[in-house]
């Protein structure tokens, strides 16, 4: 499938200076940024996502490195997705969780869970938000149709388990960021993606976009396990190519 024509999107693109890559140690990176942010509504952003863009707050970008194409956009076609045994196990493990879709807003309990997650899973990984202001800029600012999804067990006073930030696009759901209780052997991350696949099917959207996948990044290996998936080919045609077997 061919991606949208970039000329139809009402934005300008510029390339940043080089900066240390946050994914691959010892490498330098550059980004292509779409501006102005106030013109990037849900429809325009959906076109950009199909071209390999992502967002962090109101900052919309895609990798544009001089000699590296390691970052590859990955999406799941929900109608052909076939869960593995471990993914089915994660789905069954957390059937008691209750999900609620919320408008973007600051909630202290969400922030506390985010800080716990960062300290245990991504310490010094470049994603730390040291203040409520940084957290809010990263997760709670959006020019597109975005929602928070919180997952709780149906027991009074049970702590929050998972929070996902998602964007609702015209052709799918974009998983912006997910954080969860740092407990061993819970597979909360896998469960949250499975839940998004079910949501996309329920509302008639064909894809779940998981952002970038890097073959040599251990933290991203979980993405390729959702099969089949599609990878955006960084050629002149900007085509999405199906991958039906994990590498």
* Rounded Cα–Cα distance for residues 223 and 239 (Å): 19
Higher-confidence position of 127 and 192: 192
* Rounded Cα–Cα distance for residues 78 and 58 (Å): 27
Helix ranges, 51-187 (H): 85-93, 108-121, 132-139
Q: Tabulate helix, strand, coil % of the chain (nearest 5).
A: 30, 30, 45
Q: Which residues partner with 13 through β-bridges?
A: 34
* Rounded Cα–Cα distance for residues 39 and 136 (Å): 21
- Please report how the helices 188-203 and 85-93 are oriented relative to each other, as an axis angle in degrees rounded to 10: 90
* Rounded Cα–Cα distance for residues 49 and 71 (Å): 14
* Rounded Cα–Cα distance for residues 215 and 70 (Å): 7
**Is the pLDDT reported for residue 23 higher than 90?**
no
Residue with tokens 């997705």: 81
Q: For residue 3, name the pLDDT band (cuts at 50, 70, 90).
A: very low
Class of domain 80-189: alpha beta
Say how many C-beta atoms besides its own lie within 10 A of residue 43's C-beta: 13
**Is the pLDDT reported for residue 1 higher than 60?**
no
pTM for this prediction? 0.92
The lowest-confidence range among 44-58, 116-130, 220-234 is 116-130
Q: What is the mean pLDDT of residues 224-244?
A: 87
Q: Where are the domains of the chain?
A: 80-189
178 phi and psi angles, rounded to 5 deg: -135, 135
pLDDT, one tens digit per residue, over 47-101 is 999 999 999 999 999 999 988 999 999 999 999 999 999 999 999 999 999 999 9
**Is the pLDDT reported for residue 215 higher than 70?**
yes
* Rounded Cα–Cα distance for residues 13 and 78 (Å): 31
């Amino acid at each position: 499938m061919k991606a949208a024509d970039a000329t139809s999107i009402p934005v300008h693109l510029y390339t940043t200076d080089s900066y240390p890559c946050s994914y691959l140690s010892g490498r330098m990176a550059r980004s292509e940024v779409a501006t102005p942010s106030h013109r990037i509504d849900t429809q325009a952003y959906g076109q950009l996502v199909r071209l390999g863009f992502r967002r962090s707050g109101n900052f919309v970008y895609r990798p544009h490195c001089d000699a590296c194409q390691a970052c590859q956009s990955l999406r799941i076609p929900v109608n052909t997705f076939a869960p593995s045994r471990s993914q089915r196990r994660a789905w069954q493990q957390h059937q008691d969780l209750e999900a609620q879709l919320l408008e973007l807003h600051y909630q202290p309990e969400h922030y506390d869970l985010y800080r716990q997650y960062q300290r245990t899973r991504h310490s010094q990984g470049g994603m730390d938000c040291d203040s409520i202001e940084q957290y809010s800029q990263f997760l709670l600012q959006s020019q597109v149709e975005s929602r928070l999804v919180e997952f709780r067990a149906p027991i009074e006073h049970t702590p929050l388990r998972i929070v996902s930030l998602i964007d609702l696009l015209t052709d799918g759901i974009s998983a912006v960021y997910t954080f969860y209780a740092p407990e061993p052997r819970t597979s909360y991350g896998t469960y949250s993606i499975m839940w998004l696949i079910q949501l996309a099917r329920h509302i008639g959207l064909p894809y779940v976009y998981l952002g970038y996948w890097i073959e040599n990044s251990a933290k991203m290996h979980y993405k390729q396990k959702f099969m089949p998936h599609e990878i955006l080919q960084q050629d002149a045609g900007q085509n999405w190519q199906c991958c039906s077997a994990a590498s």
